[in-house]
Amino acid sequence: MMQPIRIGTRGSKLALFQAHHIADLLQLQGFQTEIVVITTKGDKILDVSISKIGSKGVFTEELEEQLASGDVDIAVHSAKDMPSSLPDGFELISYTKREKVNDVILSHREDIDYKNPRKPLLLGTSSTRRVATLKHYYPHVKTVEVRGNLQTRIKKMEEGTCDALLLAYAGAHRMGYDELIRHELSLDEFTPAVGQGSIAVEAFETLDPALKKQIVAATHHTETGYRLRAERSYLKILEGGCSIPVFCLAHYRAGQVDMSGGIISLDGKERIQHEVSGPADEAEMVGKSLAEKVIQSGGDRILKEIRQQLNN
Ligand SMILES: NCc1[nH]cc(CCC(=O)O)c1CC(=O)O
């Protein structure tokens, strides 16, 4: 009998949900699966903001060690959490069908009105993109850093740390918190982070090519793939780790990718955004052309300033 496909994942509820989703897709094609939980540095360090630890690899390093040693066949991640370049030999081989990509406001309270400057509001988030975007469009909204997994964040909100949380719809939905969603934020203002809403499968170069092909066939969503390739190519040039507020969203339409994306200064004062379109089978080129447009119109200066501010 064939060995089960060993799926490496972090142990958070969201990560396990995502790993089980991949397992389900593989089982539908007749594969046996086994889920292997791996603890990463990022799971252990809870008291320091990720933008200060340096985002690179804190949630992926241990998973990649086990991929390289062959202890697991694939690793499953939120596509959004994956750096734009992976270490040598590693590859994102598939992306699942993308969830709704919006950010949402989650709260037990029903009277959350983020648009009204006369209503004080304290939003919990730990994303520099979301904080800067709020400062830009809704400067009256106060923010407080709330870290940890979704369950921890909700607990902190219940303890009074904040009135509401600003999160990705995808995570809130996967964790079953739909009934707490009070607002779905517009994609024009809160353009999501690259890859938001899709689950990525990572493999090492030693994975058997025939098996790899079957895993891709079982888990990959072609349109999402074009969108994410375009967005990740944009991210690669902007070198935006998750601490740098770059944003980008690609849509797929009749063989084309249409992209909108940019960068926002940490204080929210400057926001650059551009749009590009191009053939989906040249998604990387399209992402690159968007990056060049953003860089040339002042994005390089904003990026430099952000790097300096984060290093202080
Ligand atoms: N930054 C953490 C993270 N990574 C992926 C998700 C949600 C799921 C997704 O976007 O695919 C979240 C939570 C959030 O941003 O609110």
Residue ending a domain, among 162, 184, 206, is: 184
Quick check: is 65 in a domain? Answer: yes
Which pLDDT score, from 0 to 100, does residue 60 have? 85
Residue 215's domain is classified under what CATH number?
3.40.190.10
Which pLDDT score, from 0 to 100, does residue 311 have? 80
Residues 170 and 226 in one domain: no
Quick check: is 132 in a domain? Answer: yes
Residues 215 and 88 in one domain: yes
Residues 213 and 254 in one domain: no
The total of structural domains in the chain comes to 3
pLDDT tens readout for residues 28-69: 999 999 999 998 887 777 655 555 555 567 778 899 999 999
Residues 58 and 6 in one domain: yes
User: Do residues 146 and 126 lie in contact, with contact meaning Cβ atoms separated by under 8 Å?
Assistant: yes
Q: Confidence band (pLDDT; 50, 70, 90) for 279?
A: very high
Residue ending a domain, among 135, 162, 184, is: 184
Residues 203 and 92 in one domain: yes
Quick check: is 189 in a domain? Answer: no
Residues 134 and 257 in one domain: no
Quick check: is 230 in a domain? Answer: yes
At 150, is the secondary structure helix, strand, or coil?
Answer: helix
Percent of the chain with pLDDT over 90: 86
Q: Confidence band (pLDDT; 50, 70, 90) for 5?
A: very high
Which pLDDT score, from 0 to 100, does residue 57 have? 72
Least Cα distance to 233 among 297, 185, 151, 294 occurs for 294
Quick check: is 123 in a domain? Answer: yes
Quick check: is 148 in a domain? Answer: yes
Residues 228 and 301 in one domain: yes
**Domain assignment of residue 241, given as a range:** 222-312
CA of 26 to the centre of ligand 1 (A): 23
Which pLDDT score, from 0 to 100, does residue 50 have? 53
CB environment 62-76: b (16+ within 10 A), e (fewer)? bbbebbeeeebbbbb
Pocket test for ligand 1, best of 10, 13, 14 (most atoms within 8 A of CB): 14
Residue 290's domain is classified under what CATH number?
3.30.160.40
Quick check: is 67 in a domain? Answer: yes
Pocket test for ligand 1, best of 196, 242, 246, 249 (most atoms within 8 A of CB): 196
pLDDT tens readout for residues 71-110: 999 999 999 999 999 999 999 999 999 999 999 999 999 9
In whole angstroms, how large is the CA radius of gyration of the chain? 19
Residues 91 and 203 in one domain: yes
pLDDT tens readout for residues 176-191: 999 999 999 999 999 9
Residues 84 and 212 in one domain: yes
The average confidence (pLDDT) of the chain is 94
Asked if ipTM goes beyond 0.90, one says yes
Closest ligand 1 atom, residue 193 Cα? 10
Residues 70 and 203 in one domain: yes
What's the rounded mean pLDDT across residues 15-20?
97
- pTM of the full structure: 0.94
Q: Is the CB of 168 under 6 A from ligand 1?
A: yes
pLDDT tens readout for residues 192-248: 999 999 999 999 999 999 999 999 999 999 999 999 999 999 999 997 566 789 999
CA distances from 62 to 8, 42, 43, 77, 148 (A): 10, 10, 11, 13, 19
- In angstroms, the CA 105 to CA 303 distance is 27
Quick check: is 190 in a domain? Answer: no
**Which residue has better confidence, 89 or 148?**
89
